[in-house]
Amino acid sequence: MAKNLALKSARAARDLSQQQLADIVGVTRQTVNAIEKGDYNPSVKLCISICRTLGKTLNDLFWEDEQ
């Protein structure tokens, strides 16, 4: 699994720390860190919660480009 730089970038653009995002979506900071590092594949429910928080779509943050 590749690093999720789109998530990291979107989080930073909202000026949120990993801890702040984790608190909003109801997970640990370690979970957010693992998602960004590509070490954890989150549930669709968690993906949607993260997207709503960051104002992004699933395509923006979690679907890989097939090009």
Tens of pLDDT, residue by residue over 19-64, are: 999 999 999 999 999 999 999 999 999 999 999 999 999 999 998 6
pLDDT of residue 23: 98
Closest by Cα among 31, 58, 34, 33 to 47: 58
What pTM value is reported for the model?
0.89
Domains identified in the chain, total number: 1
Question: Which tokens belong to 64?
Answer: 């890989």
The Cα 56–Cα 51 span in angstroms is 5
Q: Is 63 exposed, middle or buried (0-12, 13-18, 19+ CB in 10 A)?
A: exposed
Structural domain boundaries enclosing 29: 5-61
CATH code where residue 29 lies: 1.10.260.40
- Binned at pLDDT 50, 70 and 90, residue 67 comes out as very low
Report if residue 53 sits inside a domain: yes
pLDDT of residue 14: 97
Report if residue 38 sits inside a domain: yes
pLDDT of residue 2: 76
Report if residue 66 sits inside a domain: no
